[in-house]
Structure 1
């Protein structure tokens, strides 16, 4: 019988992936990018001063053990301020927002930003379903990334998402081979055209950073990467997989969302991003 992943575990797996991804970079890279993190009860906050997009500056991992109080918001906001970032985010599952959240958000001038769909699946189901649907185009192959391929892999990932500065690419490359991570790629000949990671967090794993170059899209690459990552999570003893992607709005279509649903992922909830501004 399937059992839904606990909300707190789903949120903590996500933020731990982001924190480990960034803070595991070599010291000179962390210093040049202004990378730092903070633990607040069960939650974590991450700040990356030189990330102009603000994408990586976020707080998450809140769960039912501790309310998201004004004191918690104050601690995270003070952390953002001390790190010198202009914008940061609070990622809080809707079921964990306290009754007085509207007044708390107003007091700290938090504004509602984009929305993300949070998805989950049993690791065993995803591994089996993805394998059955696997249909890579001829000439493409999928496999685990080796250390000597780390820079090419990281370049594809970070430039596809718009984070192409050398420091950000070096940060991603340093993640390859780290104990709680598995990095995969799809090759066309000897060239990487698509990438994806999975972060292992005990019973739960996070599908992280799936990206495909324009010329590789529509050729089965992301489905192959989902299958490889699901199998890796199952082999590592994970029970659940979680993922997050942009929520669809009327008239929009998110291919990544539909690829995941196709192999058995189900929507868990839609989560708003609450933005803090300096």
Structure 2
């Protein structure tokens, strides 16, 4: 992709998907300077569009220290995430965060592109089907099963109850999709993912996509993404975005999404005792 097109996608991402948009669905949120600070059922989170308005490294460090004090004063917060991007100022932010008790998690790639590029037909293995379930009467059992599958794959994640509460808060702006395999006794959730419509923007996020190991490499993740892309287009969405691991990045790139930057979550955990 030409540099100017990639730059335009990154500019749209920065302008539309950071700050207030990124704390959509929070239990509560507030602002401190350029920061949006949010509480979710499963933790807390910091987002911002830019820190450049602070003007100096000293002011950035002051804000980091103030933010740690803010969350440390809330006994229900055991940990929180400060989400960074690879193209952000200041370059010294890694050291500042580490000095104040943060540790970096896995680096992910931020992918952005036209929703239409992903809305393709994908042949599924025999006995596998995909559907949206958040609007169904039996959604509680399906979302709970899918959340348990995702937790087994990733090692952690929101519980079914937490995910159901989030879906309720989002009031239809977040969709929950599953891929199911037919079994002798019914069906089994083998992959799941969300489509998060970002109010007031041209974007929707595709999140999740955790596939059981024995079902990988058969097009299921790509088909789940295509189904969500078609749904996004029906809602008037122009762009899709995703923070992806090295496992899903090649699939999204083949589908037409573009790597525009990286993102690293820095995690602060409350000291023991």
1:205-241 deviation per Cα after TM superposition (whole angstroms, max 9, x unaligned): 1112222234443332211110011111122122211
- Aligned counterpart for 1:82 among listed residues 70, 73, 76: 73
1:96-149 deviation per Cα after TM superposition (whole angstroms, max 9, x unaligned): 23255356335524333321111111112222xxx14x0111222212213323
TM-score where L is the length of structure 1: 0.74
Count the aligned residue pairs: 247
TM-score where L is the length of structure 2: 0.75
Residue in 2 that maps onto 1:174:
165
Residue in 1 that maps onto 2:93:
101
Structure 1 residues 277 and 185: alpha-carbon distance in aligned structure 2, compared to 1, 3 A threshold: closer
Residue in 2 that maps onto 1:15:
22
1:165-213 deviation per Cα after TM superposition (whole angstroms, max 9, x unaligned): 9x82112123447321122222223523321111011211111222223
Alpha-carbon distance, 1:42 to partner: 5.5
Alpha-carbon distance, 1:264 to partner: 1.1
Structure 1 residues 103 and 230: alpha-carbon distance in aligned structure 2, compared to 1, 3 A threshold: same
- Aligned counterpart for 2:180 among listed residues 187, 190, 194: 187
Residue in 1 that maps onto 2:9:
4
Structure 1 counterpart SS, 2:50 = coil
Distance 2:19 2:124 in 1: 33
1:162 aligns with 2:162: no
Residue in 2 that maps onto 1:115:
107
Aligned CA-pair RMSD: 3.2
Q: Which runs of 5+ in 1 are unaligned?
A: 24-35, 249-253
Residue in 2 that maps onto 1:144:
132
Residue in 1 that maps onto 2:123:
135
Structure 1 counterpart SS, 2:73 = helix
Distance 1:176 1:75 in 2: 31
Distance 2:176 2:34 in 1: 27
Identify which range, 39-48 or 147-156, moves more after superposition: 39-48
Structure 1 residues 228 and 105: alpha-carbon distance in aligned structure 2, compared to 1, 3 A threshold: same
Distance 2:19 2:93 in 1: 20
Structure 2 counterpart SS, 1:95 = coil
Structure 2 counterpart SS, 1:96 = coil
Contact 1:38 1:79 in 2 (8 A): no
- Aligned counterpart for 2:84 among listed residues 92, 98, 101: 92
- Aligned counterpart for 1:63 among listed residues 31, 37, 50: 50
Q: Which runs of 5+ in 2 are unaligned?
A: none
